[in-house]
Chains A and B, each alone.
Chain A
Amino acid sequence: MLTWLDQRTGVVTATKDFLTEDVPGGASYWYAFGSATLFAMILQIATGIFLCFYYAPSTSTAWESTKYIIEKVPAGHFVLSLHYWGASAMIALVAMHLLQVLLWGAYKKPRELQWIVGVFLFIVTLVLGLTGYLLPWDLNALLASTVAIRIAGNAPVLGPMVLHLLQDGDGISTLTINRFFGVHVWLMPAALVALVGAHLAIFRWNGPAGPPIDEAPKLKPGRFWPDQMFMDTVLSFGIFVLIVALSTFSPVPLDDKADPNNSVFVPYPAWYFMALYALVDIVGSLPPWMVQAASLFATIIGPTLLIVLLIVLPFVDRNPSRRLTRRPWVLGLTALIMVGAIGLSWYGQNNVVTGQLAHNLIGPNAVPTSAQTNAVQTAPAVTAAAPAGTSSAGGGGGAAPAAGAGASVYGANCAGCHGATGIGQPGVFPPLAGNPVVTGDAKAVIHIVTDGLTGNVTVKGATYNGQMPAWKGTLTNQQIADVITYIRNGWGNKASSVTAADVAAAGK
């Protein structure tokens, strides 16, 4: 049977040829990252194809069909979760593979082109991650993608054109979803498969690079099949088990449907963009005169330079030695960038958590009706961070007030500016926790809530210039009384309660 097939197609001979390959110095688990990346790609393509049986890209169907996949399709949530965690795994593996080749100097002559194709594969993988992020069309998808698209739109000269090209119009619309879908499902996978083909073909031409020593080509060769293939499969299997476990115990979340008018949802980037997210945040707090230039550097110039640096690396670093000890500059720079990326990611993650706490999306006072599900909140670190954030920023440090009518009025109307834990926003909205005005004369507090407040306000030496709207007419006297009682007794505050009669009396 196989002979019959081989005589007519040569497929058996070709497979044998492909598997018969020397591995300098013998097989090693260190060489398995490339294959594991390939496995993750195959997993993504397989699960992606099956998701296409249900997913429909448009503003009226993207979220609905994703929800349908999660709730109605048999094993649908599991397949979607495989795709979600598989994406993380693929990006992590690409990054590890790239880092290893970098550390081991395997990009050097004659493997420059294999390296460059690899850098493009890295970019394609990131584009897949970015475009896939919009497709579920939930709150996070819209806001995170809005930020990404606007960043691209700020590029010098080409920015506005790129913005229109990405959005297919003046705003993020149904055409944008279609566009991202086309890129995510057809264009990038096609590029991916073509580039992987080139990557492997060049790899076969040069053979494996071997360990990071200068005598690698002279080492006693080991076998690709079955020795290396076995190790590749073991690593891939381990990763598959991990992805299945994550998909089972931490399935992909879906936030509420995208709503362009929602202004309290705090978007969270995928972890692989967390460092860039943090960088955007940091440059935003620089002195005003340098924010624009610094932003441009952080979002466009810096990342572009990094990619260019990766591409030209084999031509700049012409030192033929692959020994780690003889390459201090490249390794030092790599270490610096890695430390920076990890530090920024950590900072960014903390930022997301703080923001979500302030907007009641997570934490002890979370509003149950709002979109609750996101990957960040399930992390144990968040629960640990919540009390710390409350006490340090709020200044009160007391237990959260008991939930009640006042708490829900506060969550729905006040938390957006003053924060779920009453911490306010520096320079704009004063804190309520530990604020002597809040716990002072009840009539003054009633007056502020019913009639609003404009102009500068000073609380404990800090100035705030936000606008407090007048709530009479919007809230009933009872609601105003409830919410004032709530803020006067929350977050460590202690003051008298207020009744609807008090509010009515103050209004006369």
Chain B
Amino acid sequence: MAHAEAYQDPGTPQEQSRRQFMAQATIALGGVIGISLAIPLVVSLIPSADASNDAWSGLTPAEVDMLKKATDNTPVKVTFDVHETNGYFGAVDTEQFVWAIRASDEEMMKARPDLFTGPNKLPYPVVNMGFTVFSPLCPHLGCRYAYIPAQKKFLCPCHGSVYSVLGVHEAGPALRGLDPLPLRDYQGKVQVSWILYQANTPAHVVIQVG
């Protein structure tokens, strides 16, 4: 304390009371500034709703042809555009893909009975128009898994989860099999719904549609 002479004399009771007021007023004014600044700053971080995201994405004729290349349970990669908001770029078409296989209801019911009955039953058909399309995101933690033709398996590069071509979880840390996405023929147009499910849970918990 190089310069603290003023603090040696405690001062008169009036001075002490005045100082107490000034100390409290300083803290109060500082608090008011802090709070009125913190509110807009924190509010500015609230994420905006992606209002422009469409629930269904249409497939172009070329993309439908891609889908039709799935003639058996050998997976085919089908790309399509998802219309979504990308910050200050506005609404843009982002390319996505799904894995499609040709499958029958009986086949899928046998391999993935939990998708048809019980608590994990999906609210939409697992097989439609003779196809099942899988979300390309690994249900473990969301990486994109690859198809390994030699083994006829799906393999996730991140943590090594392995799935059969029908999406049955066979090895690795994932807690459920691959997620089928809704596919439909809507007024003559083939459409897919891009659904993001919560990662690393046994149940299908929807985070976002579109």
Contacts and interface: CB of A to CB of B under 8 A. Distances in A.
Given A223-B7, A226-B22, A226-B26, A82 B1 contact: no
A78 B19 contact: no
B206 interface: no
Which of B7, B33, B44 has its CB near the most chain A CB atoms (within 10 A)?
B44
Given A64-B88, A68-B88, A230-B26, A82 B6 contact: no
A74 interface: yes
B44 A50 contact: yes
A20 interface: yes
- Interface size band for B: 20 to 34
A75 B39 CA distance: 9
A50 B36 contact: no
A226 B11 CA distance: 13
Contacts of B22: 226-227, 229-230
Decide if the interface of chain A is mainly helix, strand, loop or mixed: helix
Contacts, number: 91
A22 B43 contact: no
Contacts of A225: 23
Contact of B2 (A76, A207, A226): A207
Given A61-B88, A75-B40, A234 B6 contact: no
Contacts of A74: 43-44, 46, 48
Given A53-B45, A72-B48, A223 B19 contact: yes
B142 to A, nearest CB: 23
B2 A240 contact: no
A79 B44 CA distance: 8
B40 A222 contact: no
A402 interface: no
Nearest to B37: A46
Interface string A228-262: 01100110110010001000000000000000000
A65 B88 contact: yes
Contacts of B41: 46-47, 50, 75, 79
Q: What range describes how many residues of A lie at the interface?
A: 35 or more
18 contacts: A21-B3, A21-B4, A22-B5, A50-B41, A64-B88, A65-B87, A67-B88, A72-B48, A74-B44, A79-B44, A205-B2, A226-B19, A230-B26, A234-B25, A237-B29, A237-B33, A240-B33, A240-B36
Interface of B: 1-7, 19, 22-23, 25-26, 29-30, 32-33, 36-37, 39-41, 43-46, 48, 87-89
Given A46-B37, A53-B45, A233-B25, 14 more contacts: A20-B4, A20-B7, A50-B44, A54-B88, A64-B88, A75-B43, A75-B44, A76-B44, A79-B41, A82-B40, A221-B6, A233-B26, A233-B30, A236-B29
Interface of A: 17, 20-23, 43, 46-47, 50, 53-54, 56, 61, 64-65, 67-68, 72-76, 78-79, 82, 204-205, 207, 221-223, 225-227, 229-230, 233-234, 236-237, 240, 244
